[in-house]
């Protein structure tokens, strides 16, 4: 499989087979409005305004509710660290519910999933049409970065996993995001790792956060255990764009390596440090290749799937395609940074070949028979949604309980004060 994928990366001059395309190629121009891969706008201006207003109200109110819930629980940090972590996990689950319901209501799309033999038996479709993953409780997850919504779909994967992992997702992201109102401080409560892209600054921060993620805890029975953890990394460092593509090509030419066509060359330093620090506490790296249906060769997802088109105009991607692979950490060369850089780059060449197949045919490779249960086909197709429609109400439960408790205290105090005075 790896050899076949590497061979495909050299076939860049082969004719393009018509069909749904995805690309992050070298040449890009602003696409015509009527060439949108999801077709024409499905809603008029008035409906778009109403959708935008409802989306904004829902998203902002949920974010505020979650952040207030975090603040109310912050004193637990000085009471019991394990209790504090458990509490913040619940608030992180709330955000997972937020992005899942938000995507289902305003940006419904088909999710098409396949993978190679390394993920055999870990992807199955449920009787009600959802998908259920059986990925481990501790892993490092890596993916190519097409557009800003990548992490939303990967967070949903955590929700769809058994056991659910949407409360244990940790993301490494750029430092500027922590200054966003409400959302930035909320992500700091989640224990996300913010990078300034200066290793002298980032390494101590990462060492501190990763140290917490590999800390052993003691159960009442005396048994030692590690908390669940999904650490999400985007080794490309940013989403695919013309600027990023040009920089990737320039770097490839400078150091004398082969450039890619559909992805950006990965940066290995951060991932190498993470895996080195976590070595012995995590067994697998799960790799997801993400493709959005309909993006023409040589164009970029950000040119089509903006916030407005995706959530307000009714033009989300017709399908989001995920192809999964798994690598054992023990088989990854972590004894030498240069060897690891070569290893990661080879995986990205394979990823580039996977995307070339998708560009040419509209499909990733089908899953071999052992990946999904018999009768489910080579692809699992589903949608982003929660198991029960009312789950989003959980976002407000803690805040509601605090409100009721405060109301009882105030009324009791007022009653006592009236009697006394």
Query: What pLDDT is recorded for position 264?
Result: 95
Backbone phi, then psi, for 396, in 5-degree steps? -105, 0
How far is CA 110 from each of CA 104, 321, 383, 389, rounded to the nearest angstrom? Answer: 10, 8, 5, 18
Query: What pLDDT is recorded for position 19?
Result: 35
Beta bridge partners of 324: 115, 288
DSSP 144: -
Report which of residues 420 and 391 the model is more confident about: 391
Transcribe 226-264 into DSSP letters. Answer: E--EEEEE-TTSS---HHHHHHHHHHHHHHT----SSSP
Query: What pLDDT is recorded for position 177?
Result: 87
pLDDT band at 210 (very low <50, low <70, confident <90, very high): very high
How many angstroms separate the most distant Cα atoms in the chain? 89
SS3 139: strand
Report which of residues 22 and 113 the model is more confident about: 113
Q: Mind listing the pLDDT tens digit for each residue in 320-333?
A: 999 999 999 999 99
Beta bridge partners of 5: none
Beta bridge partners of 25: none
pLDDT at 18 over 60: no
Least confident of 81-95, 187-201, 203-217, 333-347: 187-201
Rounded to whole angstroms, the Cα distance separating 44 from 52 reads: 12
Residues 6+ apart with CB under 8 A from 386: 97, 100, 101, 104, 159, 392
Q: Mind listing the pLDDT tens digit for each residue in 336-385?
A: 999 999 999 999 999 999 999 999 999 999 988 656 655 566 899 999 99
The percent of residues in the chain predicted with pLDDT above 70, rounded, is 89
DSSP 279: B
On the CB side of 126, CA atoms within 13 Å amount to 14
pLDDT at 419 over 80: no
Q: Mind listing the pLDDT tens digit for each residue in 76-109?
A: 999 998 899 999 999 999 999 999 999 999 999 9
Q: Mind listing the pLDDT tens digit for each residue in 244-263?
A: 899 999 999 999 999 999 99
pLDDT at 138 over 90: yes
Mean local confidence (pLDDT), 225-233: 95
**Strands 229-233 and 224-226: what pairing?**
unpaired
Query: What pLDDT is recorded for position 348?
Result: 97
pLDDT band at 418 (very low <50, low <70, confident <90, very high): low
């Amino acid at each position: 499989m790896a050899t076949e994928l590497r061979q495909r990366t050299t076939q860049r001059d082969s004719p393009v087979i018509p069909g749904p395309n995805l690309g992050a190629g070298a040449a890009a121009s602003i696409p015509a409005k009527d060439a949108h891969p999801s077709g024409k706008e499905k809603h008029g201006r008035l409906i778009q305004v109403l959708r935008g207003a409802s989306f904004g109200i829902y998203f902002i109110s949920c974010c505020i509710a979650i952040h207030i819930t975090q603040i109310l629980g912050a004193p637990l940090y000085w009471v019991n660290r394990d209790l504090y972590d458990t509490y913040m996990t619940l608030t992180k689950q709330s955000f997972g519910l937020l992005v899942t319901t938000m995507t289902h209501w305003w940006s419904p799309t088909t999710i098409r999933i396949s993978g190679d033999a390394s993920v055999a038996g870990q992807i199955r479709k449920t009787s009600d049409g959802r998908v259920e993953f059986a990925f481990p409780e501790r892993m490092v997850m890596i993916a190519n970065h097409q557009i800003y919504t990548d992490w939303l779909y990967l967070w949903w994967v955590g929700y769809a996993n058994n056991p659910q992992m949407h409360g244990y997702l940790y993301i490494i992201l750029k430092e500027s995001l922590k200054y966003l109102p409400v959302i930035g401080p909320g992500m700091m409560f989640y224990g996300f790792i913010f990078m300034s892209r200066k290793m002298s600054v980032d390494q101590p921060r990462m060492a501190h956060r990763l140290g917490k993620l590999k800390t052993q805890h003691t159960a009442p029975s005396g048994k030692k255990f590690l908390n669940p953890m999904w650490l999400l990394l985007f080794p490309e460092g940013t989403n695919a764009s013309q600027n990023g593509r040009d920089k990737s090509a320039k770097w490839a030419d400078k150091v004398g390596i082969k450039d890619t066509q559909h992805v950006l060359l990965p940066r290995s330093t951060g991932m190498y440090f993470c895996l080195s620090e976590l070595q012995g506490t995590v067994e697998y790296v799960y790799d997801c290749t993400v493709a959005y249906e309909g993006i023409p060769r040589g164009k970029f997802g950000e040119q089509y799937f903006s916030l407005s088109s995706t959530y307000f105009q009714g033009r989300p991607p017709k399908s989001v395609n995920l192809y999964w692979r798994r690598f054992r950490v023990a088989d990854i060369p972590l004894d030498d940074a240069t060897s690891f850089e070569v290893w990661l780059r080879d995986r990205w060449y394979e990823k580039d070949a996977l995307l070339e197949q998708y560009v040419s045919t509209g499909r990733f490779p089908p899953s071999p028979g052992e990946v999904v249960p018999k009768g489910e086909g080579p692809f699992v197709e589903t949608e982003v949604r929660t198991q029960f429609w009312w789950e989003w109400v959980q976002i407000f439960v803690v805040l509601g309980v605090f409100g009721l408790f405060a109301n009882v205290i105030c009324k009791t105090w007022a009653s006592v004060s009236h009697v006394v005075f």
